[in-house]
Structure 1
Amino acid sequence: MTDLTDQVAIVTGASRGIGRATALLLALQGAKVVAVARSAEELEELNTKTQGLAIPADVADEADADHVVAETLSRFGRLDILVCNAGVGSFNLLENMESAEWDRIFDVNVKGTFLMCKAVVPHFKAQGHGHVVAIASDVARRTFEHGTVYGASKSAQDALLGSLRKEVRPHGVKVSTIYPGLVDTYFNESKPGGVEAEKTHLKPSDVAQAVRYVLEAPAHVVVDELMLHPITQEW
């Protein structure tokens, strides 16, 4: 298994939910975690536990994405892992969605993934290794009512990652995509009916363990895609 000790990992959307759980778990495994989110206060609280680096940033802003990578390299002198977790959603009938919501969701879910990958990939290729792990969603592979815009963004993100995977593999760089089902986080508050307190929902820690699983796979093992089922918690 790959040892995560002293590996440097950027985790976006780290202030809450899946991102926070992932940052905490990677730090526990010995990684140096660079936590990225827009909330400086929540990041600083997290950083007291991870003892890494907290960088308030908007992943949909190219200057911010470049700044995150530059600060990481300046602080630690290396970069091994990018966890693209930042995401937003809004759930409504198509005719009730505003174009501004389309822009916001695609900016974070698709453009944010694009910009963060664009910032790290040249470094990964130059050093001959690196691992991008993206938290997508099972809705990239299925559709549901009220999910037109969010589902479209996740399908676009999925296509981006699939193409990137083929581009970087000859350079020793891995790209893994995780597709969680329903996860018990604040994210559900924006869904019709509010928070669903289903015992069958995944926990943020379940997704964090899936991230750890793909990162710790032996160097010769490539986990391209990992579907995480909420009922059985199997992956």
Structure 2
Amino acid sequence: MNDLTDKVAIVTGASRGIGRAVALLLAMQGARVIAVARSAEELEELAHKTNGLAIPADVADEADVQNVVEETLRHYGQIDILVCNAGVGSFNLLENNAADEWDRMFDVNVKGTFLFCKFIVPHLKAQKSGHIVGITSDVARRTFEHGTIYGASKFAQDALLGSLRKEVRPHGIKVSTIYPGLVDTYFNEAKPGSADTEKTHLKPADVAQAVRYILEAPPHVVIDELMLHPLTQEW
């Protein structure tokens, strides 16, 4: 298995939910974690627990993303892992969605993934190694009522990562995609830990363990896609 000790890992959407769970678990495995989100206060508390860096940033802002990459390289001199977790969603009938909802979801879910990969891939190519993990959704592989915009953004994110996987594999870089079902976070209408979600949703820690599993796979093992099933909490 791959050792994550001293690996430099950028995790987006790290202030709460899945991103926070991923950041904490990677730090426990010895990785140097750079936590990225818009909430500076929550990030500072997380950075204290992970003994890593906290960099407030908007994942859809090109200057912010470039700054995260440059600050990481200045501090650690390398980047080994990128976990694209930041995501937003809202669910409505197509005709009841405002155009700015389309922009918001595509900015965070798709553009954010694009920008981080754009600025990190050249460094991974130069070192001929690295691993990008995209946390998308099971709705990147299916459609559902009221999910027109969110589903479209996740299909687009999935296509981006799938194409990138083919581009960078000859350079020794892995790209993996995780498709969680419902996860017990603030992303959903119910509050985390409520009776409504306890038996039907994955926990953020379940997704974090899937990220760890992928990252620790031996170098010759390529796991392109991993689907998580919320009702059984198995993967």
Q: By the TM > 0.5 criterion, same fold?
A: yes
Instruction: Deviation per CA, 1:52-71: give whole Å up to 9, x if none.
Output: 00000011011111110100
Shift of 1:48: 1.0
Which residue does 1:90 correspond to in 2?
A: 90
Shift of 1:200: 2.5
Which residue does 1:127 correspond to in 2?
A: 127
Shift of 1:43: 0.2
Identity %: 81
Going from structure 1 to structure 2, the CA distance change for 1:97 and 1:195 (only over 3 Å counts) comes to: farther
TM-score, normalised relative to structure 2 = 0.97
- For residues 177 and 233 of structure 1, the distance between their equivalents in structure 2, rounded to whole angstroms, comes to 18
Which residue does 1:107 correspond to in 2?
A: 107
Aligned ranges 1:192-207 → 2 under 5 Å: 196-207=196-207
Match status 1:158 vs 2:158 = yes
> Which blocks of at least 5 consecutive residues in structure 1 are unaligned?
none
Going from structure 1 to structure 2, the CA distance change for 1:172 and 1:28 (only over 3 Å counts) comes to: same
- For residues 198 and 22 of structure 1, the distance between their equivalents in structure 2, rounded to whole angstroms, comes to 20
The answer (yes or no) to whether the contact 1:133–1:178 under 8 Å persists in 2 is yes
Shift of 1:199: 1.0
- For residues 233 and 216 of structure 2, the distance between their equivalents in structure 1, rounded to whole angstroms, comes to 19
Which residue does 1:39 correspond to in 2?
A: 39
TM-score, normalised relative to structure 1 = 0.97
Match status 1:77 vs 2:88 = no
- For residues 213 and 185 of structure 1, the distance between their equivalents in structure 2, rounded to whole angstroms, comes to 21
Shift of 1:197: 2.1
The answer (yes or no) to whether the contact 1:188–1:195 under 8 Å persists in 2 is no
| Partner secondary structure for residue 188 of structure 2 | helix
Supply the RMSD in Å over aligned alpha carbons. 1.5
Aligned length: 233
Shift of 1:195: 9.3
Which residue does 2:28 correspond to in 1?
A: 28
Which residue does 1:53 correspond to in 2?
A: 53
Could you list the structure 1 runs, at least 4 aligned residues long, displaced by more than 3 angstroms after superposition: none
- For residues 197 and 233 of structure 1, the distance between their equivalents in structure 2, rounded to whole angstroms, comes to 12
- For residues 224 and 233 of structure 2, the distance between their equivalents in structure 1, rounded to whole angstroms, comes to 19
Which residue does 1:147 correspond to in 2?
A: 147
One-letter code aligned to 2:158: D
| Partner secondary structure for residue 132 of structure 1 | strand
The answer (yes or no) to whether the contact 1:186–1:195 under 8 Å persists in 2 is no
